[in-house]
Amino acid sequence: MRIGVLTGGGDVPGLNAAIRAVARRAYQLGWEVMGVRKGWAGMVSGEIEPLTPDQVSGILHIGGTILGASRTNPLKRPQDMQACLDNFEKFGLDALVAIGGDDTLSVALGLYERGAKVVGIPKTMDNDVAETEYCIGFDTAVSTVVDALDKLHTTASAHHRVIVVEVMGRDAGWVATMGGLAGGADLIMIPEVPMSLEQAAEHVRRRWDRGKQFSIIVVAEGARIPEIVAKEEDLGERDDFGHVRLDRRGIGETVAREIERRTGFESRCVVLGHLQRGGSPSVFDRVLATRFGVGAVELIQVGKFGYMVALKANKIVPVPLRDALAYNRTVDLELYHLAEIFY
Ligand code: F6P
């Protein structure tokens, strides 16, 4: 038995832990493991090499991915999908484990529908893959946000300022909501709950009236702020999966500037950006990645192709890729409203 493994889309801490788990469980079963380089790009070009026990040793705690990643989308070009299928054959792969978010997993589903034996593992700091409560990388990213909020609280308080912290998360507010909840944010702005600049400014004024002379505002990069959305220009080129670069909105800076203009309180903006995807994986992500990696090999063992592993009620369960890709899992509004109590 020979299996391949790849990591696609944006990197997150915990990918190496997942690669290690897939490989170690496979070796235990006497299987061979091949590493596909740079996500689907390597599957198209045939950058596929044996992954040895030495290569997966000592990587559990290291961020990034030893296999490299890309946002290449073979679904855009029939010849690329064919190249993936040809390389499956050429490299003698009996099955493939695709580790990624909804983009990477949509290609996995496309290949499965064309006859390839593929299983998936959900990873994305956005935490928006459907049918799983957690994706690899989310917990570590949120921990980074919380660490930043802890540090920013002291300087905001010392200078009586408003600090706007822009976080990633694409079209879902998971990172902003969970980060803001755990980091004691004074206002959270997310895509799921539109909020105007005037509402945000009014909130800061009300806090001041209550004697709160500083505010920490967490803004998701995809936040729906009507005044900004209305004026937004084309954000430029889209990637292979059709996504624009949300960092180009500069939403954190706009919110900080507008709050200062409308309230007169001095404001600053901090964009956490790719810091959220760096560092060592948290305990939660290491354990999740390990469980997902072993679980994915077990899906292959029982022939459950076209499925991904998911976390539900703290159990690893199989979920059809089709169901996992059916919708974008947006934030649990109960958590958002919980955070509001502490504004
Ligand atoms: O999907 C993960 C993510 O980090 C998003 O939160 C963010 O919008 C995007 O990737 C950034 O992508 P890139 O690394 O290509 O700039």
Tens-binned pLDDT, residue by residue, of the chain (343 aa): 999 999 999 999 999 999 999 999 999 999 999 999 999 999 999 999 999 999 999 999 999 999 999 999 999 999 999 999 999 999 999 999 999 999 999 999 999 999 999 999 999 999 999 999 999 999 999 999 999 999 999 999 999 999 999 999 999 999 999 999 999 999 999 999 999 999 999 999 999 999 999 999 999 999 999 998 888 888 888 999 999 999 999 999 999 999 999 999 999 999 999 999 999 999 999 999 999 999 999 999 999 999 999 999 999 999 999 999 999 999 999 999 999 999 9
CA of residue 157 to ligand 1 center, whole Å: 31
Pocket test for ligand 1, best of 168, 174, 190, 328 (most atoms within 8 A of CB): 168
CATH topology of domain 139-277: Rossmann fold (3.40.50)
**Six token digits for residue 101:** 């978010």
Q: Which atom of ligand 1 is closest in space to residue 243's alpha carbon?
A: 8
Q: How many CB atoms lie within 10 A of CB 264?
A: 11
Of all protein residues, the one whose alpha carbon is nearest to atom 15 of ligand 1 is 10
Distance 170 CA to ligand 1 centre (A): 7
Per domain, the residue ranges of the chain are 2-137+281-324, 139-277
Is the CB of 294 inside a 6 Å radius of any atom of ligand 1?
no
The tokens for 82 are 């064919």
Atom of ligand 1 nearest to the CA of 168: 6
* Residue to substitute in 11, 106, 170 for testing ligand 1 pocket (most ligand atoms within 8 angstroms of CB): 170
Residues 6+ apart with CB under 8 A from 91: 2, 4, 34, 46, 48
Fold agreement between 2-137+281-324 and 139-277: yes
CATH tag, 2-137+281-324: 3.40.50.450
Atom of ligand 1 nearest to the CA of 239: 15
Distance CA 227, CA 243 (A): 22
